Amino acid sequence: MGRSRPALPHGVRLELRPIATAPMNLKSLKIFCDIVVRRSFSRAAEDNGISQSGASQVVSQLEHRLGVQLIERSKRPLLPTREGQVFFDGCRKLIARYDALEDEVRTLHEEVAGRVRVAAIYSVGLHHMSRAVQEFTTLHPRANVRLEYLHPDRVLESVESGQADLGLVSYPRSTKTLEAEPWREEPFVLVCAPVHPLASRASVRLDDLDQLPLGGFDPDLVIRHELDRILAAHGAEPDVVLEFDNIETIKRAVEIDAGVALLPEPTVGREVAAGSLRAVPLDMPAGSDVVRPLGIIRVRGKPLPPTAGRFLDFLRQHGGEPAAPSLRDEVAAPAPKVRRPRAAAAAPT
C-alpha cells in the first residue's frame, strides 16, 4: 500500500511542470568544439554559418545544462576551463565516432561511399587537387570529397579537431596527436624576371645568390627556416629586401624585378609558360637536391572512415605526379609585409 499524499491547504493547487533543459545535439557539440579550437566565438560562428550571438548562446545553453562554466570568457584568446577541456575532449571523440558510424552505414550497400574531408595549404595546387578529386569521384561516384584550402596552422587545427580527416602540408612532422607521412617532393628553382642577368643562365649555384636582392618568406614560416639553413650551409647570404607570407605575392614582386626568389618549381609553371618569369635550375651536387617535401597528416591512433582510407590510398598512388601551378599559397588573402634593411619600411598594402 503506497503512502498517502499529504493534504494541501485549502485553495492551493499543485501544478507539475517539466524541468527545462538546454537542447543537446551534435551540431551544438560541434560548435562548442570549433569555439575551443578557433579560440573565438566569431570565427567558430563563421565556420558554422551562424551569428556570433548564436554561437555564444550554444555555449550558454550547454553550461546551463551541465551546471559548470565551459569557456573562460575573460581571457583572450578564449580558453576552456578545466571542465570545458574535459567536455571538449569527450565531444571531439563523440563527433568523430558518429561521423565514422555514418560512413560505415553508407558503405553497407556501396563499396566506396560517404564523406572525405581534406584540408590543404594553397600551394599544394588548386588545379592538381581538383583534378585528383574529380578522378577519385569518377572512380567512386558515391563518394563526396570536401576540399578546403587553409593557412598551414589552420590545417593542423582542422585535422586535430576532427573537422578534416586528412591534411596536406609542407614540411610535415609527426606530433603526439598527429601522424605524418611523406607524399611527394618538389624541387626548388631560382625564379627571376626575364630581364634579370641570371635569366639566361642554364643553372645557378646557391653561392651565386650571395648579396643578391631576394624576395623571401616571413621569418615565422617553416619554409623560411629551411631555406635560410640551406643557404647558410652553402655560404650564401642574400639581401632579403622583401618578406611575404605566401608564394603568390613573392611571384608578383619578382615579376617587376624587385629581387629573385627560391620557389618550388610546380608553383611557377603558369608564369614560366606565360613568359613573365624565368625558372633557373639549381646546380647542386648529386644527391643534395633542394626540395620542398609535402606530406599527409591525420590524427594519431584514430582509424580513418572507410572512404577517407580509400582516398588516402589514392593520394599515395598519385603522389609522384607533378602539381599544376597554384594560384595562392599559405594565406588566402595575404597582406604583404615589406622590409627594406637600408631604408624605411614600406607600409603594407
Q: Who has greater pLDDT, 34 or 344? A: 34
Comparing 94-98, 238-242, 323-327, the range with the smallest average pLDDT is: 323-327
pLDDT above 90 coverage of the chain, percent? 42
Q: pLDDT band at residue 346, thresholds of 50, 70 and 90?
A: very low
Helix residue ranges, H only, the chain: 26-38, 41-47, 52-66, 82-106, 126-139, 152-160, 222-233, 247-255, 269-274, 306-317
239-288 pLDDT, tens digit each: 999 998 888 899 999 999 999 999 999 889 889 999 999 999 999 888 78
Q: All domains of the chain, ordered by start, with CATH?
A: 26-91 (1.10.10.10), 110-183+293-317 (3.40.190.10), 186-291 (3.40.190.290)
Q: pLDDT band at residue 38, thresholds of 50, 70 and 90?
A: confident
Q: pLDDT band at residue 115, thresholds of 50, 70 and 90?
A: confident
Q: pLDDT band at residue 338, thresholds of 50, 70 and 90?
A: very low
The C-alpha cell at 167 is 591534411
Comparing 38-52, 58-72, 235-249, 318-332, the range with the smallest average pLDDT is: 318-332
State how beta strands 143-149 and 166-170 pair: unpaired
Dist. CA 230–CA 206, nearest whole Å: 9
Q: pLDDT band at residue 4, thresholds of 50, 70 and 90?
A: low
For 318, counting Cβ atoms within 10 Å of its Cβ (0-12 exposed, 13-18 middle, 19+ buried), the class is middle
pTM equals 0.62
Judge contact between 35 and 71, C-beta under 8 A.
yes
Q: Who has greater pLDDT, 151 or 195? A: 195
Comparing 50-54, 130-134, 162-166, 276-280, the range with the smallest average pLDDT is: 130-134
The yes-or-no verdict on residue 325 having pLDDT over 50 is no
Cβ contacts of 262 within 8 Å, gap of 6 or more: 188, 189, 190, 191, 209, 214, 227, 290
Dist. CA 276–CA 258, nearest whole Å: 13
8-29 pLDDT, tens digit each: 556 555 454 444 454 568 889 9
Q: Give mean pLDDT, residues 60-85.
A: 89
From the CB of residue 84, how many other CB atoms can be counted at a distance below 10 Å? 23
- pLDDT at residue 188, as a whole number: 95
Q: Give mean pLDDT, residues 303-321.
A: 83
Scan for cell 571538449, then name that residue. 88
pLDDT averaged over every residue in the chain: 81
Q: Who has greater pLDDT, 113 or 213? A: 213
Q: Cα 126 to chain center, whole Å?
A: 14
Dist. CA 200–CA 132, nearest whole Å: 35
- pLDDT at residue 258, as a whole number: 93
Q: Give mean pLDDT, residues 64-70.
A: 91
Comparing 29-33, 184-188, 333-337, the range with the smallest average pLDDT is: 333-337
